[in-house]
């Protein structure tokens, strides 16, 4: 296997992992929202900011630690700059972001697989 084939195999594999992983996360999130809708009778909006907050909580990021993650956590709670971006993260559904990343991952998987097939044919 040549270096070119190896690189396309890596692109294809990473694309598959990202694509199908984020698709599973998208389906789980929409399933959770549907469950809550059936149970409570009201659709629960989960924004990108809510998703980032949840990830930071599971990473156990302390508020007083130095670095990027505590600053991001603080910015999500009380923004003082980049207010427009903060509004976008509050309005943009997390499920849409997950599905978009899944599409990009699937594109990389298909594109990498096609290029790998072309390399093996001698093209």
Residue with tokens 């992992």: 17
User: Which residues constitute the domain of residue 105?
Assistant: 1-45+99-123
Same domain, 53 and 82: yes
Are the CB atoms for 56 and 72 separated by under 8 Å? yes
Q: How confident is the model at residue 62 (pLDDT cuts 50, 70, 90)?
A: confident
Same domain, 1 and 37: yes
Of residues 67 and 29, more confidently modeled? 29
pLDDT of residue 7: 92
Q: Which two tokens stand for residue 50?
A: 């809510």
pLDDT of residue 104: 98
List, in order, residues 6 or more apart from 30 with CB less than 8 Å away.
95
Same domain, 105 and 87: no
pTM of the model: 0.87
Q: How far apart are CA 101 and CA 48, in angstroms?
A: 13
Same domain, 74 and 88: yes
Same domain, 104 and 86: no
Strand partners, 47: 93
End-to-end CA, the chain:
14
78-109 tens-digit pLDDT: 999 999 999 999 999 999 999 999 999 999 99
Same domain, 57 and 74: yes
Q: What is the mean pLDDT of the chain?
A: 93
Domains in the chain: how many in total? 2
């Amino acid at each position: 296997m040549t270096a070119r084939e190896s690189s396309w195999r890596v692109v294809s594999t990473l694309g598959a992992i990202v694509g199908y992983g984020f698709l599973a996360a998208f389906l789980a999130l929409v399933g959770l929202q549907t469950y809550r809708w059936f149970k409570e009778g009201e659709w629960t909006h989960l924004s990108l900011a809510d998703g980032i907050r949840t990830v930071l909580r599971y990473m156990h990021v302390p508020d007083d630690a130095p670095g990027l993650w505590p600053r991001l956590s603080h910015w999500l709670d009380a923004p003082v700059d980049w207010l427009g971006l903060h509004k976008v993260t509050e309005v943009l559904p997390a499920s849409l972001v997950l599905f978009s990343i899944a599409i990009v991952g699937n594109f990389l998987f298909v594109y990498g697989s096609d290029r790998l097939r072309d390399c093996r044919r001698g093209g």
